[in-house]
């Protein structure tokens, strides 16, 4: 069986240093925050070229902390995409703001600057009860969004520009790492991420010292002094066991991302020789613009997605769909007044959701396994023509 993702392989690749890191924390007697967490925060921030890191319990919490520290409140609008993990929108609502959903670009599958511009105009004209406030693009699958074009729209409209980097650890946009472009950036450290813990975790990066301190206060009950809440906060702390293991994995992140790019290049070569009209039957979601993709996922598109997925399963090949139902079509978020949708519909998002398929991708995947996946795809393609 070739699995689609394999965090266990990441453990086995660095088992001895990971277990040593865990032992050091257990022997230290310090199990909440502390020096190990601070070391990871500082090293990950520096690795990204950013001044401050604030660890927390999950990527969802990272978005919530970022928004709350910036002043989220009812009526303030965060423009984000519907083609994302539902965590993005859940975090906006938990922070007390309103999520306004924007369409994605057909090529990059990240936030469309044109759709964002239309959303801001529609918000101002049709919803005087709401205040445009934040732009929160998602760097999806390891592909950075078009941050320059989004920054233009944000600046023209007086909006804060943030980043959801849950899938883009180490990716670059025009030479800059994602996480170092907006005012602040939220990362997930979920086990399957390019930089994944062995449990849950998250971190926010920012160059704004006051914002970082506000998030540190918020993540621990609003304490500025112990047991005294200066502001209403939450309990969202990255624990030292995870931080210790993340420090080990951070040492290998450049090499792991390079491995992902090599595997993606092999997929590209193998799929380029497929005996079908790729624009009709199968398309690769390739990098667009001046970016360095880190292939959190290797994604293809086909209108015969479900048939292909079933065929691959019979060949012992695991796949995943990221994501099968856009957020605005899910029952919890289908109230178009509570969660507005640009123009009432997101045609690219809905088309993409019916076609995307994530093939096996993780740093420890072998080239022979990629070739086996591609051989199965060729076999399917011959039958599908």
User: Rg of the Cα trace of the chain?
Assistant: 21
37's CB contacts (< 8 A; 6+ apart) are 55, 237, 238, 239, 240, 243
- Mark residue 289 as left, alpha or beta (left: phi above 0; alpha: psi -120 to 50; beta: remaining): left
Looking at the fold, whether 132 and 231 belong to one and the same domain comes out as yes
**In terms of residue numbers, what domain contains 331?**
253-384
- Mark residue 300 as left, alpha or beta (left: phi above 0; alpha: psi -120 to 50; beta: remaining): beta
Q: What is the pTM of this model?
A: 0.96
Q: Which of 251, 278, 312 is the last residue of a domain?
A: 251
350, pLDDT greater than 60: yes
Looking at the fold, whether 301 and 373 belong to one and the same domain comes out as yes
CATH number at 135 reads 3.40.640.10
Residue 174 lies in a domain: yes
Looking at the fold, whether 240 and 323 belong to one and the same domain comes out as no
DSSP 275-293: SS-TTTT-EE----SSEE-
What confidence score (pLDDT) does residue 270 get? 93
281, pLDDT greater than 80: no
Residue 233 lies in a domain: yes
Residue 159 lies in a domain: yes
Looking at residues 220-242, what average pLDDT do you find? 96
Looking at the fold, whether 142 and 260 belong to one and the same domain comes out as no
- Point out which residues pair with 235 in neighbouring strands: 220
Model confidence at 382, in pLDDT bands (50, 70, 90)?
A: confident
Looking at the fold, whether 217 and 337 belong to one and the same domain comes out as no
95's CB contacts (< 8 A; 6+ apart) are 63, 64, 67, 68, 72
Residue 1 lies in a domain: no
What is the number of domains present in the chain? Answer: 2
Which tens digit of pLDDT belongs to each residue from 9-68? 999 999 999 999 999 999 999 999 999 999 999 999 999 999 999 999 999 999 999 999
Looking at the fold, whether 258 and 228 belong to one and the same domain comes out as no
Which tens digit of pLDDT belongs to each residue from 296-320? 999 999 999 999 999 999 999 999 9
Q: Which of 217, 251, 285 is the last residue of a domain?
A: 251
Looking at the fold, whether 229 and 283 belong to one and the same domain comes out as no
Model confidence at 368, in pLDDT bands (50, 70, 90)?
A: very high
Looking at the fold, whether 231 and 342 belong to one and the same domain comes out as no
Looking at the fold, whether 246 and 257 belong to one and the same domain comes out as no
């Amino acid at each position: 069986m070739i699995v689609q993702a394999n965090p266990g392989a990441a453990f086995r690749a660095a088992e001895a240093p990971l277990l040593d890191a865990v032992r050091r924390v257990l022997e230290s007697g310090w199990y909440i925050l502390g020096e190990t967490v601070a070391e990871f925060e500082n090293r990950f921030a520096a690795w990204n070229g950013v001044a401050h890191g604030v660890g927390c319990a999950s990527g969802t919490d990272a978005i919530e902390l970022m928004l709350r520290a910036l002043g989220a409140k009812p009526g303030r609008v965060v423009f984000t995409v519907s083609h994302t993990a539902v965590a993005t929108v859940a975090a906006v609502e938990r922070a007390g703001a309103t999520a306004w959903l924007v369409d994605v670009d057909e090529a990059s599958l990240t936030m469309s600057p044109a759709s964002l511009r239309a959303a801001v105009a529609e918000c101002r004209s049709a919803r005087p009860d709401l205040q445009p406030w934040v732009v929160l693009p998602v760097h999806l699958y390891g592909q950075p969004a078009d941050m320059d074009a989004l920054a233009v729209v944000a600046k023209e409209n007086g909006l804060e520009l943030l980043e959801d980097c849950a899938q883009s650890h180490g990716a670059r946009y025009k030479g800059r790492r994602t996480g170092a472009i907006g005012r602040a950036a939220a990362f997930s450290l979920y086990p399957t991420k390019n930089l994944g813990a062995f449990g849950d975790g998250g971190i926010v990066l920012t160059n704004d010292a006051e914002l970082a301190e506000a998030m540190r206060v918020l993540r621990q009950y609003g304490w500025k002094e112990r047991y005294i809440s200066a502001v209403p906060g939450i309990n969202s702390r990255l624990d030292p066991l995870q931080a210790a293991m993340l420090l080990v994995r951070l040492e290998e992140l450049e090499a792991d991302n390079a491995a992902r790019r090599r595997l993606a290049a092999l997929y590209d070569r193998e799929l380029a020789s497929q005996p079908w009209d790729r624009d009709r039957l199968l398309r690769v979601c390739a990098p667009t613009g001046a970016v360095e993709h880190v292939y959190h996922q290797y994604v293809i598109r086909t209108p015969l997605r479900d048939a292909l997925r079933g065929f691959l399963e019979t060949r012992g090949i695991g796949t995943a769909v990221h994501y099968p139902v856009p957020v605005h079509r899910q029952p919890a978020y289908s109230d178009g007044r509570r969660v507005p949708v640009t123009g009432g519909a997101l045609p690219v998002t809905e088309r993409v959701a019916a076609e995307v398929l994530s093939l096996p991708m993780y740093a420890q995947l072998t080239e022979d396994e990629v070739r086996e996946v591609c051989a199965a795809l060729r076999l399917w393609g011959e039958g599908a023509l």
